[in-house]
Amino acid sequence: MSTFTLAQVAECNTTSSCWVIIRNKVYDVTDFIFNHPGGPQVIMDYAGKDATAAFVPIHPSDTLDKYLPCEKHLGTLDEASIRELRAANQSKGKSRDELRVEEAVKNKPPLGRMINIQDIEEIAKKILPYKAMAYYASAADDSISCVENARAFSRFFFRPRVMKAVSGVDPSTTMLGYKSSIPVYISGSALARLGHPLGEVNLTRAAYKSGILQMVSSNSSLSYAQIAAARGSSEQPLLFQLYKHKNDDIAARRIREVEELGYKAICLTVDALVPSNRELDTRASHYLEEYENEGKITRGNAADKSGDVSTLGTAGGLIVNNDLDMTWEKTIPWIRSVTKLPIVVKGIQCVADAVLAVEAGCEGIVLSNHGGRQLDYSLPPMEVLYKIRCERPDVFAKTEVYIDGGVRRGTDILKALCLGARMVGLGRAFLYAQSAYGEAGAIHLVRILEREIKFAMTSLGVRTIDQLAPELVERVDWQPLGSKL
Amino acid sequence: MSTFTLAQVAECNTTSSCWVIIRNKVYDVTDFIFNHPGGPQVIMDYAGKDATAAFVPIHPSDTLDKYLPCEKHLGTLDEASIRELRAANQSKGKSRDELRVEEAVKNKPPLGRMINIQDIEEIAKKILPYKAMAYYASAADDSISCVENARAFSRFFFRPRVMKAVSGVDPSTTMLGYKSSIPVYISGSALARLGHPLGEVNLTRAAYKSGILQMVSSNSSLSYAQIAAARGSSEQPLLFQLYKHKNDDIAARRIREVEELGYKAICLTVDALVPSNRELDTRASHYLEEYENEGKITRGNAADKSGDVSTLGTAGGLIVNNDLDMTWEKTIPWIRSVTKLPIVVKGIQCVADAVLAVEAGCEGIVLSNHGGRQLDYSLPPMEVLYKIRCERPDVFAKTEVYIDGGVRRGTDILKALCLGARMVGLGRAFLYAQSAYGEAGAIHLVRILEREIKFAMTSLGVRTIDQLAPELVERVDWQPLGSKL
Amino acid sequence: MSTFTLAQVAECNTTSSCWVIIRNKVYDVTDFIFNHPGGPQVIMDYAGKDATAAFVPIHPSDTLDKYLPCEKHLGTLDEASIRELRAANQSKGKSRDELRVEEAVKNKPPLGRMINIQDIEEIAKKILPYKAMAYYASAADDSISCVENARAFSRFFFRPRVMKAVSGVDPSTTMLGYKSSIPVYISGSALARLGHPLGEVNLTRAAYKSGILQMVSSNSSLSYAQIAAARGSSEQPLLFQLYKHKNDDIAARRIREVEELGYKAICLTVDALVPSNRELDTRASHYLEEYENEGKITRGNAADKSGDVSTLGTAGGLIVNNDLDMTWEKTIPWIRSVTKLPIVVKGIQCVADAVLAVEAGCEGIVLSNHGGRQLDYSLPPMEVLYKIRCERPDVFAKTEVYIDGGVRRGTDILKALCLGARMVGLGRAFLYAQSAYGEAGAIHLVRILEREIKFAMTSLGVRTIDQLAPELVERVDWQPLGSKL
Amino acid sequence: MSTFTLAQVAECNTTSSCWVIIRNKVYDVTDFIFNHPGGPQVIMDYAGKDATAAFVPIHPSDTLDKYLPCEKHLGTLDEASIRELRAANQSKGKSRDELRVEEAVKNKPPLGRMINIQDIEEIAKKILPYKAMAYYASAADDSISCVENARAFSRFFFRPRVMKAVSGVDPSTTMLGYKSSIPVYISGSALARLGHPLGEVNLTRAAYKSGILQMVSSNSSLSYAQIAAARGSSEQPLLFQLYKHKNDDIAARRIREVEELGYKAICLTVDALVPSNRELDTRASHYLEEYENEGKITRGNAADKSGDVSTLGTAGGLIVNNDLDMTWEKTIPWIRSVTKLPIVVKGIQCVADAVLAVEAGCEGIVLSNHGGRQLDYSLPPMEVLYKIRCERPDVFAKTEVYIDGGVRRGTDILKALCLGARMVGLGRAFLYAQSAYGEAGAIHLVRILEREIKFAMTSLGVRTIDQLAPELVERVDWQPLGSKL
């Protein structure tokens, strides 16, 4: 295998010849520059340089093998260059943001003091690097749907029943036939390693230990195989959240890969075909630049000058190459032709599409507006669920209905279940939990939800999940003041 | 009787042999550790030590006689040990919280400046020890139901009638046949002695002097007999709020005890069978720890480390051993078989259960969600009352309907009465009043309410309570801005 | 006439013998102590002393002649005592509140900078002595009705019509047949001299110069004769707001007095029979005491100690001796038997009573909840007006309907007129205007309203008042965010 | 041509002889004083003086030629006077407000950091002179309609459809037959040169480069000819916003002038016939006076003393001489008799008038309340649009319906289009964009909207504008909390 010096690499810093260093290895990415999902600029920022710190946390380890032909894996740095690079990294000193995070980690309270989801979110936001926080927390435009997702739950109150036998309350249920200890699953969400080195694996292990299910994102920061390998047993069910590539062959290859790895369902994402305007995420690099410069605005880069309006943050690099012309008639049968796994459509946002999904024979649907991260002013899933209950209750008998977005409390979950949802997904909450406390954080989160669910079931006069019924909730015509938001 | 030294007691500090000192007496509580309603950890914190300060304010004086066999009452400390203990307590110095309370008591305004309930609550919260305040003020989860209980009243406006003869307005009425000077009773609430050494007795005396009724909690901090003894005359009616023990014999014994003591009704609690998540209460010990350490987080105890999610504050030690399998069919007849007292069901939260209570022959029902302290998002009682008025007005003819939760003003009380309630209960308000000003405070509170009720009756064009009618109130479709919350 | 020394007066300081000095004259008020509308304590505070400063601003000059037999007008102070008293008053120094007012008056902006009612109110609140401000601004209990009175207007939006001929817009109208330049009258309100030495006379003169009508309160701080004498011509119409005394003879005398003085209508107050709980007013003396002591609480007076709940501020002394047993059947015919003046009933708060007033033959009704100063949660008049429009529009044809409470803008006035009101009354706004700027302030206020009304009429496509119609307004189902409150 | 000295001009400073200097030329404006649309006082402030700085930014360059007879163009200053004037202006020093603006301009972020309309507005408000900002930002009375215009959009949510073929989304449409790249036009708004020296020309150029249409205000600060000359090609369509003069001949002359210049439509303003109460604008001169004096109030001018209520800010000088007696019957046929251009009525505020406009044969209507700058509490255009959709959907087939007011996001625009609007106008947003960043700013604004519109179309499952349908939006019965306002 060839070795190179830093100087040799440094010469290849143009779009005609572009080399980068990742984990002391040298790659020729010239042909890939304009195919990079995250856009060419991000690569050119590291042309001829060490890209390790930027590359590692957001790419699964098999990325280079999968997407870069082996002849472009040129070789390694020589020993002297490796030493030089390490020394350079060490001498660089820490950024203000890194110092802030270090301080926050030092002051992190013990896990036992986290008594609700909100506690965990607050701590996580403090200990996350700013860019990671901005990616996790950001929502579309003015965050209306994101905020309303949570607020929708607060317009549903309970009509608890008393004098019911409730000893031995049991919150367990199933999803696509797989047992879950509580009616909650970990929803697919990208880039868990932005928050914790073990990333998605924290969640896989926590899911196993707490007896719940995990949906794995196409944009996970570990490879699908690494995640599958982290299962507690080969029986532990994983669901796969698919972003269908516009190229059917590539899409089919991905589906077959996860089926072979033992994943149990294909959850087709239909609400996030193009990158959205997530302003916290988009502004993150500007914010950081000013933060590191203690408030001074620099008037640097090209985008600033051109007035380009298309740069869209971390998320902009993930939602790419999707099939924009999927239809019920074409796409569902095509997936059936590729795999035997059950199909769940994730991102249903109105009654009419719930009905079409049933007619297309989907085994499940997720009422979701992508956590308010895509189209702002998309109706909150809880409102859509309520409409299905009022207008088309037959849907619940014909497919499994899940819901995600805005869930903060066990009571939120029970409200959704009373109206007909079978399971509730949480995404950001698990990202925050594993960011702040790793696997233990994710388990702790499940325990909190379990406690809240069991308490609320008892208080509603309900012993098992199937006793939850629409009559137990009421949509009120006022907005609670002390709402959690 | 035997005497012991501090050293002897100190040796018995394990779960195999656990002694504690209370009021200079020595008790062997080994067999009781795991039956303690408040959980074993609380006892083990004092194993081999003096537990007086922790035990006294929350246990009636007959607790040890009732629950600990006499052979476990080992004896007393010797004189030297008693002196040593007293000296140790004195030398300990005062905590920051105690000093804060002392200062607040010094600045407490005279009672005459309290012109409404809110005034009293604010002062009480200042002069209460933090833990007591947290127990009194706390509510479930996000305090939604607690806040909405009060806010529900603000959606009802009056249609006052003019040119009605109203001189000599009379706000008196009856509850279960017992006369009350105003349509208000003191609702059952636990642990009055957290706020004032005389605790529940302040309320009993104030009730007598102001001519209203008192409901005594199963979890009172004085014994039922002590409270009965504080009555102004043997005719003064007391009602008993029953938490039914899961063991029928124990439950029957408690009912018979209070019947013999002269209590006049059994108010069966049905909305608080298991401990709830009252976050202010749960966080109180963490808060205090940090407060005493001037903001520094210590990472102390076991629960913190294990990430245990079941520790639930002071309230967690009270709501225990309840019968989780009560039913209308079984439990009401069983109570009838034990006692001749009228039965009131406390904690009705929907129309359907109000109807079932009528069918079960209950003499009264309390529309209540436990002051928003149990299931968050349980409908506000005022909304449930309104629904009964709209959907099942026959209920009001068939049983007495009471309501508690969120009452702040005489106008709130009249709104409830217009819709069909017979009496309104206040719990926290009386706890705060007696905490801040003892018996005089509780009497003052009644006088404020009486003034407000009489003024509002006059202004509504109503001379007697029975003239209050649904036509005098109107549910509006907007939320007042200057709402008291 | 006898003369007395300060020492002689000082000896008569008990309830058995109580003398006071007012404007250097000596009065024996012993027999009057317990008949004093403002209660005995207020008099006893000045027993044997000079009461001038407390007495003058809130009593008309004929009070002593009217209510104290002439033999109790004992005489005057001797010259030396008069000098001594003046010197004592001068040497006393100014209170903090007086100094604050002086500074505020110095910084008062010129009248021309007041461009809306809110501007005037803000300045007036700054330059008023605290007690006067508290009396003017206070409202009942939690000020819900007071705030909602204004907010109710904000739920009505306009449907303006375009392409209508609107040149020469004319906002004039009539009230009980008397011409008014704009559809606004000065509503009866007590104690104008608390804010300005000329008090009600400022308003009478401004009404004349701006061509609008004035309603004079029974509790005016100038005598009815003084106010009548201030008219610009004997044709200037004054209306009289009657608080009917429980003694029919006294009441009849008062009615005949004003009829003889040339007042044009009797406006019978029916919504303020007993004193209400106006907390700002009630707390004013406590506030001032602390303010003068720079924040220190003193624990002074008897009421504080006894926990008396009946002390009710300045207002408590005004609303006294009213007839609590008025009825439609008895009282309206009785007034007719005493006077030929038209009868307006002020304080109608629901549709049913509007209908009864029509049936009783009243010439006019004022929809009013006394500016939110009496029963809190009484419906806003604008809502009552809307209900009459929806349920009983015949009322508008059968009597003149006026409305007061919460009016801040010309648009508010036009909304009321569109729904059927004939005139709109403003009380506090005129008190504030004359307090801050005297007669010119009150005229300026009319000019602002006239400008706003004319502009809005033009913009609505309306040339004359009678073209205003219900179709021009719409009650919306949302609450504007930027509401003026 | 004559020349004059400063001294000569200075002598002519009375209403009998009034000369002013503008751009070193001398004009006799004596006969014009009382015909000045902005009132005589503004002219007299500069009688005998140099009026250049006040005159230039708000008058088109042809104003003097058009309105002042050529014999009143007296001549120029002599060279010495010109030098003296220049020196005087330079030595005057900068005002606090000018210094504030200079600093703000220095800190202005690069255009590329503006990622939404709100960003641009915030920067523009910082860099604008206070008076310009106050004129642009001000709204009527309490700004209720202005705020609610924007807020109305937030009550409409989307029901996005998934699994629709959306590649190649196309947001282009037409207005009166003229192509537009996105369904947005620049609405007519006065005085663009208050914000930027190139004023309206920035907008004309930006419209050309981004392929959208511009409506030019009668009150533009450049002449209609100058604006026409700035077009990118003679085909670029300009629309003319007409304020119809009360004198038909003058009005006809104006219409013919713009028709000859190539303007493509007459947009008749019907919602702004008389000046309104825009308080920020009205208070601007007082604010500035205090600002320059560092907070001290001066009690200067005549208006202040007289308590005059008619002074109404910059806007007061613009909305003058309008025809107050326009009617559907008379005015539309009259315009037809003068011009062949299509007629759009701008300022429809209710369903009934939309129908009348259709019956009058108008080619288009603009639902508008003048950006909330005229009659406060006029219904938001989005609400009027929704009512037309519900009550008279035939209107959309019979005329083109546009809407302006409160638009902030691409989602707002799509909501309006779903309900039936053809185009959406933005006024203030373009003023702000060109004020802060000139032509590039206006283009950037279009690009932002284009990105937002295309993203939202894709997310709604819509490929072309004509696929937008009422079923895609839903009016919700709650108000989003995180609303942009």
The residues facing C217 across adjacent strands are: C241
| Spacing of C-alpha A230 from chain mean position | 18
pLDDT in tens, C353-384: 999 999 999 999 999 999 999 999 999 999 99
Interface test with C, best of B157, B210, B450 (most C CBs within 10 A): B157
Structural contact between residues B120 and B431, judged by C-beta atoms closer than 8 angstroms: no
Structural contact between residues A141 and A376, judged by C-beta atoms closer than 8 angstroms: yes
Q: How far is Cα D24 from Cα D76, in angstroms, rounded to an integer?
A: 6
Neighbours of chain B (3+ CB pairs under 8 A): A, C
CB atoms within 10 A of CB D62: 13
- What residue ranges do the domains of chain D occupy? 2-91, 117-277+314-475
CB atoms within 10 A of CB B137: 20
Residues 147-186 of B with CB under 8 A from C: 154, 156-167
CATH 3.20.20.70, applies to D117-277+314-475:
yes
Q: How far is Cα C439 from Cα C199, in angstroms, rounded to an integer?
A: 9
More reliable by pLDDT, B8 or C240 = C240
How many Cα atoms sit within 13 Å of C219 on the Cβ side? 24
Is the model's pLDDT at D449 over the cut of 80?
A: yes
Q: How far is Cα C109 from Cα C123, in angstroms, rounded to an integer?
A: 8
Strands (E), B250-337: 266-269
Structural contact between residues A239 and A214, judged by C-beta atoms closer than 8 angstroms: yes
Per-residue pLDDT of chain C (485 residues; tens, 9 = 90+): 689 998 988 898 888 889 989 989 999 988 888 778 777 777 888 889 888 888 887 788 788 888 888 888 898 999 998 888 888 888 888 889 999 999 999 999 999 999 999 999 999 999 999 999 999 999 999 999 999 999 999 999 999 999 999 999 999 999 999 999 999 999 988 788 888 989 999 999 999 999 999 999 998 888 899 999 999 999 999 999 999 999 999 999 999 999 999 999 999 999 999 999 999 988 888 888 888 887 666 555 444 454 566 666 777 777 778 999 999 999 999 999 999 999 999 999 999 999 999 999 999 999 999 999 999 999 999 999 999 999 999 999 999 999 999 999 999 999 999 999 999 999 999 999 999 999 999 999 999 999 999 999 999 999 999 999 999 999 999 889 864 43
Q: How far is Cα D258 from Cα D266, in angstroms, rounded to an integer?
A: 9
Nearest to C411 among D141, D306, D350 (CB): D141
Structural contact between residues B213 and B239, judged by C-beta atoms closer than 8 angstroms: yes
| Structure-block tokens of residue B284 | 């109180």
Name the 3-class secondary structure at D350: coil
Nearest alpha-carbon partner for C322 in C37, C26, C120: C37
pLDDT in tens, C233-255: 999 999 999 999 999 999 999 99
* AA identity, residue A339: T
Distant-in-sequence, close-in-space partners of A66: CB < 8 Å, separation ≥ 6:
none
CATH no. of C2-91? 3.10.120.10
The owner of tokens 């030929």 is C340
C404 touches B: beta carbon within 8 Å: no
User: What's the confidence (pLDDT) of residue A484?
Assistant: 42
Is the model's pLDDT at D30 over the cut of 80?
A: yes
Structural contact between residues A116 and A453, judged by C-beta atoms closer than 8 angstroms: no
Average the pLDDT over A460-469 and give the result: 98
Shortest distance, CA C373 to any CA of chain B (angstroms): 12
The residues facing B178 across adjacent strands are: B175
Name the 3-class secondary structure at C479: coil
Q: How far is Cα A139 from Cα A385, in angstroms, rounded to an integer?
A: 21
User: What's the confidence (pLDDT) of residue D61?
Assistant: 79
Shortest distance, CA D36 to any CA of chain C (angstroms): 20
Which residue of chain D has the CA closest to C414?
D377
Torsion, Cα of A62, A65, A68, A69 (10° steps):
-170
pLDDT in tens, D77-90: 999 988 988 888 88
Distances from the Cα of B454 to the Cαs of A247, B166, B170, B414, B444, in angstroms? 79, 10, 7, 10, 15
Shortest distance, CA D393 to any CA of chain C (angstroms): 18
Angle between helix axes C428-460 and C130-137 (nearest 10 degrees) is 50
| Structure-block tokens of residue D89 | 């202006």
User: What's the confidence (pLDDT) of residue D308?
Assistant: 64
| Structure-block tokens of residue D208 | 């050309």
Nearest to B304 among A110, A154, A158 (CB): A110
- Mean pLDDT (chain D) is 91
Interface test with A, best of D108, D382, D455 (most A CBs within 10 A): D455
- Mean pLDDT (chain B) is 91
The residues facing A239 across adjacent strands are: A215, A265
Q: How far is Cα B324 from Cα A463, in angstroms, rounded to an integer?
A: 11
Structural contact between residues D418 and D462, judged by C-beta atoms closer than 8 angstroms: no
Structural contact between residues A21 and A51, judged by C-beta atoms closer than 8 angstroms: yes
D273 touches C: beta carbon within 8 Å: yes
Catalytic residue IDs of A: 243, 271, 370
E strand or H helix that includes residue B73 = strand B73-77
The owner of tokens 């005016």 is C220
Angle between helix axes B130-137 and B117-127 (nearest 10 degrees) is 140
Structural contact between residues C261 and C220, judged by C-beta atoms closer than 8 angstroms: no
Nearest alpha-carbon partner for C195 in C57, C36, C46: C57
Structural contact between residues D403 and D382, judged by C-beta atoms closer than 8 angstroms: yes
Shortest distance, CA A417 to any CA of chain D (angstroms): 22
| Spacing of C-alpha B241 from chain mean position | 10
Q: What angle do CA C302, C304, C308 make, to 5 degrees?
A: 85
Q: How far is Cα A465 from Cα A454, in angstroms, rounded to an integer?
A: 10
* AA identity, residue A199: G
Distant-in-sequence, close-in-space partners of D306: CB < 8 Å, separation ≥ 6:
C112
Helices (H), A261-350: 279-292, 302-306, 313-316, 328-338
Q: How far is Cα C312 from Cα C275, in angstroms, rounded to an integer?
A: 7
Q: Do A377 and D158 touch (CB under 8 A)?
A: yes
Structural contact between residues B193 and B221, judged by C-beta atoms closer than 8 angstroms: yes
Q: What angle do CA B231, B234, B238 make, to 5 degrees?
A: 60
User: What's the confidence (pLDDT) of residue B484?
Assistant: 42
Structural contact between residues D105 and D129, judged by C-beta atoms closer than 8 angstroms: no
Q: How far is Cα B215 from Cα B184, in angstroms, rounded to an integer?
A: 11
A368 touches D: beta carbon within 8 Å: no
Which residue among C271, C281, C353, C404 is the active-site one?
Answer: C271
Structural contact between residues B273 and A414, judged by C-beta atoms closer than 8 angstroms: no
Q: Read off the pLDDT band of A312 (50, 70, 90).
A: low
Q: How far is Cα A378 from Cα A372, in angstroms, rounded to an integer?
A: 7
E strand or H helix that includes residue D14 = strand D13-14
* AA identity, residue C382: M
Nearest alpha-carbon partner for B204 in B14, B18, B434, B419: B434
Nearest to B277 among A154, A160, A455 (CB): A455
Shortest distance, CA C363 to any CA of chain B (angstroms): 17
A452 touches B: beta carbon within 8 Å: yes
Q: Is D370 a catalytic residue?
A: yes
This prediction's pTM: 0.92
Count of pairs with CB atoms under 8 A, one residue in C, one in D:
142
Helices (H), A140-199: 144-153
Q: How far is Cα A317 from Cα A314, in angstroms, rounded to an integer?
A: 6
CB atoms within 10 A of CB C222: 23
Catalytic residue IDs of B: 243, 271, 370
User: What's the confidence (pLDDT) of residue D254?
Assistant: 94
**What is the dihedral sign for C-alpha C6, C8, C13, C16?**
negative
| Structure-block tokens of residue A22 | 């990742």
Q: How far is Cα D428 from Cα C451, in angstroms, rounded to an integer?
A: 27
Nearest alpha-carbon partner for D414 in D173, D213, D214: D173
User: What's the confidence (pLDDT) of residue D484?
Assistant: 42
Q: How far is Cα D302 from Cα D39, in angstroms, rounded to an integer?
A: 14
Distant-in-sequence, close-in-space partners of D332: CB < 8 Å, separation ≥ 6:
D343, D345, D360, D361, D362
Q: What does the buried/exposed string (b/e) look like for D285-314 if buried means 16 or more CB atoms within 10 Å of the residue's CB?
A: bbebeeeeeeeeeeeebebbeebebebbbb
Q: How far is Cα B247 from Cα B252, in angstroms, rounded to an integer?
A: 9
C140 phi, psi to nearest 5 deg: -70, 145
**What is the dihedral sign for C-alpha C206, C208, C213, C216?**
positive
The ipTM, to two decimals, is: 0.91
With touching defined as 3+ CB pairs under 8 A, do chains D and B touch?
no
Which residue among C46, C243, C263, C437 is the active-site one?
Answer: C243
Q: Do D377 and C156 touch (CB under 8 A)?
A: yes
For the residues of D244-275, what is the DSSP string, one character each? -BSSHHHHHHHHHHHHHHT--EEEEE-S-SS-
Structural contact between residues D132 and D195, judged by C-beta atoms closer than 8 angstroms: yes
